[in-house]
Structure 1
Amino acid sequence: MSEMNAAILRLPEPDLLPDKEINFLELIELRASRRQYTTEPLSLQELSYLLWCTQGVKMIAESGRTLRNVPSAAALHPLTTLLYLSNAEDVPRGFYQFLPVEHVLKKLDVAEELAQDALAAFEQQAMVQQSAAMFLWVADILSGIRTYGRKVYEYIYLDAGHIGQNLYLTAQALGLGACAVGRFDEAALHQALTLDGEEKKIVHAACIGKI
């Protein structure tokens, strides 16, 4: 069961997620972009799987940086996962931020009008409106520049690619549909989510739903 306390949604613990019997070559071969979804909601267990496999923390190093289930140059992990959940079991509709160390979702205070403005920024509206969840990844450009200078822009998009591929493979393993969304009105999306588009900006997004 989920617990809502101080806008925190507690997910099933990664250690308690059941193992999946997977044919790896088949998983790779069957992975595909799926743009049509049913009205069946996502479960908290499925959300937990998707978040653990894309941004899950395996270890916290002495430096304070985290080792996760996706690679990142110098374990910087400058991307934050936001979700718009529109069809998840027992979860209020709205924007959430994934806190990977705690493995929980934090409900964000985004007015419904602004949330709809954010969703309207995406070109593929039929897919976006059908999806049970939208994943958006926000890059912390400033923290990356402190480590890598302007080179960080290359690393950030590499990180986004790693996360996106893990999302696809996890969705395939769970029998879900996933599709990356490459085209959106960047200025409108940033304005709706009160991001400056320079130090904090959306660099990747994807839809998830039952098929």
Structure 2
Amino acid sequence: MFTPGARSLHGAGREFMQRTELGAQPPSDQMLGRPPPPLEVPYTRAKTVVPLPAPGDIAIPAVDLRDAIEQRESVRNYAPEPLTLEEVAFLLWCTQGVRRVVDGVFTLRTVPSAGARHAFETYLLVNRVEGVPPGLYRYLALEHRLAEESRDPEIKRRVAAGCLDQPHVLESAVTFLWTAVPDRMTWRYGERGYRYLHLDAGHACQNLYLAASGVRCGVCAIAAFDDAAMNLLLGIDGERQFLIYVATVGKKP
């Protein structure tokens, strides 16, 4: 209920909530019998691809779940020590790993997603990873591999600038950049699916925080970024695919 003197509730946020209420949208594409969108954005097979260790072959020290939750905090200062490829593979698997593809229509992964729609792509800014040249990569979750996107020596500074010059982007060993492909979610849920994209981003990043504790890493989630600049940097249009969340990772000092 509106209270006199309170801030107006008629801004874009309130309009978004009203227009995505249940029952406020037309039937979704799934209801209309239209085929689902692809499970993953295609990649150019001519690009360099980095194989990742299989999840079952990665040995990670056991961490007590209660300790991981109680000690969780954002860490912005990192040691100069690089991550191993095994550690990177583990973090990628814990945040978007595909456990099973079902009928070519949906995937079961290591994180929750509304209706198992899993509408994210994971880009990885690599600054210090053993055996992987610095640059921008994309995680091919269906294949559990990394595809090179850019080896521009200025890429980390461009990412940092797009994140409003937050210094821990430059200091991180890797930075996760999650993009959303809304068609995957709206196919089932219509415009209400945009709400679920943001909920799913929280699921993925929380898994990153918890998984990082097992490899002696700290994480800092970032929501403050220049949307247009970052979408341009990633080569996406900002509508059919857009950046939704960022997180830096590095060894704790």
TM over 0.5: yes
Identity of aligned residues (%): 39
Q: What does 1:118-197 align with in structure 2 at a 5 Å threshold?
A: 118-197=159-238
Runs of 4+ in 1 over 3 A off after TM superposition: 109-116
- Secondary structure of the residue aligned to 2:220 is strand
> When the two structures are superposed, what TM-score results if normalisation uses the length of structure 1?
0.92
Cα RMSD, aligned residues only: 1.7
2:51 alignment partner, one of 10, 15, 26: 10
Provide the rounded CA distance (Å) in 2 between the counterparts of 1:100 and 1:38: 28
1:47 alignment partner, one of 88, 104, 127: 88
- Secondary structure of the residue aligned to 2:203 is helix
**Unaligned ranges ≥5, structure 1:** none
> When the two structures are superposed, what TM-score results if normalisation uses the length of structure 2?
0.77
- Secondary structure of the residue aligned to 2:167 is helix
Counterpart for residue 148 of structure 2: 107
CA contact (8 A) 1:175 1:210 kept: yes
Provide the rounded CA distance (Å) in 2 between the counterparts of 1:175 and 1:109: 28
Deviation of residue 115 (structure 1)?
A: 5.5
1:200 alignment partner, one of 228, 234, 241: 241
- Secondary structure of the residue aligned to 1:97 is strand
Q: Which deviates further from its counterpart, 185-194 or 71-80? A: 185-194
Number of residue-to-residue matches in the alignment:
207
Counterpart for residue 72 of structure 1: 113
Deviation of residue 113 (structure 1)?
A: 4.5
Please tell me whether residue 95 in structure 1 is matched to residue 136 in structure 2: yes
CA contact (8 A) 2:79 2:251 kept: yes
Point out the structure with max Rg over C-alpha.
Answer: 2
Deviation of residue 150 (structure 1)?
A: 0.6
Deviation of residue 116 (structure 1)?
A: 3.4
Provide the rounded CA distance (Å) in 1 between the counterparts of 2:227 and 2:203: 21
Provide the rounded CA distance (Å) in 1 between the counterparts of 2:161 and 2:93: 28
Q: Which deviates further from its counterpart, 182-191 or 201-210? A: 182-191
Provide the rounded CA distance (Å) in 2 between the counterparts of 1:193 and 1:118: 9
Higher helix share: 1
- Secondary structure of the residue aligned to 1:66 is strand
CA contact (8 A) 2:98 2:107 kept: yes
Counterpart for residue 62 of structure 2: 21
Deviation of residue 110 (structure 1)?
A: 6.1
- Secondary structure of the residue aligned to 2:121 is strand
Deviation of residue 145 (structure 1)?
A: 2.0
CA contact (8 A) 1:115 1:192 kept: no
The one-letter amino acid of 2:113's match is: S
2:74 alignment partner, one of 13, 20, 33: 33
- Secondary structure of the residue aligned to 1:52 is helix
**Unaligned ranges ≥5, structure 2:** 1-45
The one-letter amino acid of 2:189's match is: Y
Q: Which deviates further from its counterpart, 112-121 or 143-152? A: 112-121
Provide the rounded CA distance (Å) in 2 between the counterparts of 1:194 and 1:53: 25
